[in-house]
Each structure stands twice: as C-alpha cells, then as structure tokens.
Amino acid sequence: MTRIPPKSNKNDANPDTPDRVIARDASPLRERLAAMIAANGPISISDYMEDALFHPQFGYYTTGQPIGAAGDFITAPEISQVFGELIGLWLVQSWIDIGEPSMFNLIELGPGRGVLMADVLRVARLRPKFLDAARLWLVETSGRLRLEQQKRIKPTGAATQWADSLDDVPDGPFLLIANEFFDCLPIRQFVRTKTSWRERMVDVDPNDTAQLAFVLHDVPPEPEVNLPSRETTQEGEIYEVCQPSEAIARDLSDRLAHHKGRALIIDYGYDRDQTGETLQAIQGHAYCSPLEAPGVSDLTAHVNFASLIREGFSNGAVTAGPVPQGTFLDRLGLAARVQTLTQDKPPDVINDIEQGVARLVGSHQMGTLFKVLCLYSPGLSVPAGFVV
C-alpha cells in the first residue's frame, strides 16, 4: 500500500492559500446536522456528503452556482473550448467504431453548466448523421444546473432529456461522458486500528456542540465492504470506498456487455488501490475544512480508478487506461486544434488560448493528476487516445 498525500491539488485551488475561516453562521446545514446527530448519533461520511452536496434545501449543488470563474472551482471545459471539441471528435469516432447505429443514447453524467456538451454538439455538426442518431440524456440532480444546461444546449437544437440517475436512462447502444462527476459521489472512510478496521463517522464536537468532528464507529464494518488486509496496512491509515461509483461502473459494465458502446470517465484520482485521505472541501478556489461549512463548500474525494476498472470488468466490459489527461488530449490532436484556433488571431487571444491549454495539459496543473479511463464493449477496437 502506498500512502498518498492528504490533499492534492484540485484543478485550480491554490494549496498555498491558508485555510479559509468561514463565518459561524455561514452554514445553516451544519447547525441542522449537529442537532440531528446530537439526537440520533453519528452519521457516516457518505451520509454527510450526500446532505452537504444534495440536501433539497441547503445542499451545495441545490443552492449554489459552484462552477466557473465566479464559482468555487473551474473545470476543463470551462477553461478551454478545445477540451469539449476534442471529446466531441472522440465521440464521433466512437460512433463510427460501434458501427454508426441509427439510434443511440448520448449520455453525460453531471453536465454542470452544459459547456462540455455544447462544445461536443458544435463539433459533431461535422457528422450530421451522428446528431440525427443521438438521443441526448443528461443525468443531473440539480434543478438549477439543469436550467443552465438547457440554456446552453437548447440553441444547438438537440432534443434533450434529463434523468436523476443512470438507472432512468433506457438500455441500448450508447456513448457516455463523465467529467468531474465521480469525484463528488459520496465516499466512506475506514481507519485501520490496532486490531481491525473501523468506519470514520461524523459526530458533534464534544468541545463545541455547534461544530462537527470525526469519530470512529464502535462496531466493525459490515463484511461486504472490501477492505485491504491488515498485513498490507498500518495503524492509522485511512482507506476510502465509494460505493455509488462502484455501482455505476457495474451498471455500465452490464450495459456494455449487452449493447455496443463506450463510456469515457475523466477525473482526478489514483490508478492503484492505496490508503490516504482525499476528502477535501473547496470554497472560492481555496481549501477549507470538510466539516466546517456543509452546503456552502464543495466536497470531493479523489477517484479510485482501480475500483472502477474492477467493477468495469465485473459484468463483461473491457477497459482502457487510465491515461493522464495531458497524454490523452495530445493523442487526440491537441496541437493541430490549437494551431487552427490561433491562426491569424491577435497576440492577446493567442495568449489566452495557449494559457488555457497549458492548464489542461501541464504536468503541475491538470495534465497528470486528471486521468482518463474508458469502459467499452468487448470486441471493439481500443479507442482513440488510448493507443500507444
């Protein structure tokens, strides 16, 4: 087992920024959770994340405008149009690779403000038959973000349907993209004690009952949770499990075994099972404590690509990658696209384009930490971007 550092760089949060102090009354949800926990006992980190992100009244994605320069974090499609354009070309090529079906589901998990899909649909105009065949499904829980998505995607003319979860998307051939979706699915954390594993829970702080603090569960985890052996870990190490991600990977695997398709997953994370805490909170492009401001700060955890691969294989799909985002975009023809975009442009525009692209691929920015994994149907060729 390798240990990973407690907090790695999310795409744009500045790790040198001192932890932000959030005003006491900034998080009404924290007060509610504290009262509920005081009455009923500690909750799992997964239940805490679920409420912090998706509480119908106070959840982060329910109430806020999290994404973009004015929000708390910025994502690849928001940084440069080149990202979505290259993914669009990848999708068109994948549609050709799966035999140009006359009808297929084009699915995006967690489309944010709809920027990525709008860029995809714009380049896909090069292949009108692709657009005619696509049934667009956006899997999104946030009503506010659905409106943003509609605003950007409606002008493209694509007939769009929304779903609360992948379960609601009909079966059939499909192409799916998920950029920075898996990192916001709730995780559980387990701490290796001297003798066994114990789940890390959220309790009220004994020194200040308005605050929250981590505690260890007093009973062992249920046997179904797949934890590393005692021999390969040391006392105090933390292991994270993301059950919703695993369930989605199993569902994708099942669909891909029965219908032709590909699913492209892009996120920041690690590609081998490892211990280490990656739960992190970001507000206004700076880190803060994960228990300080539920509903107000963004909460994420790094994605365990090894577990997605394991579950991806479980029902019969095959996988390619993960490869670093920088490598993937280079292989898809990033340099040529940048050259076309910058041709005959004034120096300040060229500079903006080049700076955006440098953020996407730079090894100290998003190029290495962000990784790209593809789950696809057995029998299909290795997808573009994964061929060495």
Site residues (CB under 6 A) for ligand SAH?
Answer: 61, 67, 75, 77-78, 110-112, 116, 139-142, 145, 165, 179-181, 184-185
How deeply is 157 buried, as exposed, middle or buried, from its count of CB atoms within 10 A (0-12, 13-18, 19+)? Answer: exposed
Nearer to ligand SAH (CB atom), residue 181 or residue 197: 181
Instruction: Concatenate the DSSP letters of all residues of 327-366 into one string.
Output: HHHHHTTHHHHHHHHHTT--HHHHHHHHHHHHHHH-TTTT
Nearer to ligand SAH (CB atom), residue 44 or residue 211: 44
Question: In angstroms, what is the minimal distance from the CB of 252 to ligand SAH?
Answer: 14
Question: In angstroms, what is the minimal distance from the CB of 13 to ligand SAH?
Answer: 14
Give the separation between CA 298 and CA 201, rounded to whole angstroms: 19
Question: In angstroms, what is the minimal distance from the CB of 77 to ligand SAH?
Answer: 5
Question: In angstroms, what is the minimal distance from the CB of 194 to ligand SAH?
Answer: 36
3-state secondary structure (DSSP) of residue 3? strand
Within the chain, where are the H helices? Answer: 28-40, 45-54, 60-63, 76-79, 81-97, 115-124, 128-133, 143-153, 243-258, 305-314, 325-331, 334-342, 347-361
Nearer to ligand SAH (CB atom), residue 111 or residue 269: 111
Question: In angstroms, what is the minimal distance from the CB of 104 to ligand SAH?
Answer: 20
Question: In angstroms, what is the minimal distance from the CB of 106 to ligand SAH?
Answer: 14
3-state secondary structure (DSSP) of residue 212? strand
Nearer to ligand SAH (CB atom), residue 11 or residue 377: 11
Question: In angstroms, what is the minimal distance from the CB of 107 to ligand SAH?
Answer: 11
The length of the chain is 388
Nearer to ligand SAH (CB atom), residue 264 or residue 334: 264
Q: What's 220's DSSP letter?
A: P
Query: Two tokens at 143?
Result: 């009503």
- 302-329 core/surface letters (b: 16 or more CB in 10 A; e: else): bbbbebbbbbbeebebbbbbbbbbbbbb
Cα dist from 335 to 327, 332, 354, whole Å:
12, 9, 10
Residue number with the smallest Cβ distance to ligand SAH? 110
Nearer to ligand SAH (CB atom), residue 42 or residue 321: 321
Nearer to ligand SAH (CB atom), residue 80 or residue 179: 179
Strand 370-376 with 261-270, pairing: antiparallel
Question: In angstroms, what is the minimal distance from the CB of 121 to ligand SAH?
Answer: 15
HSE of 307, CA atoms in CB hemisphere, 13 A:
24
Query: Two tokens at 141?
Result: 């829980």
Nearer to ligand SAH (CB atom), residue 34 or residue 187: 187
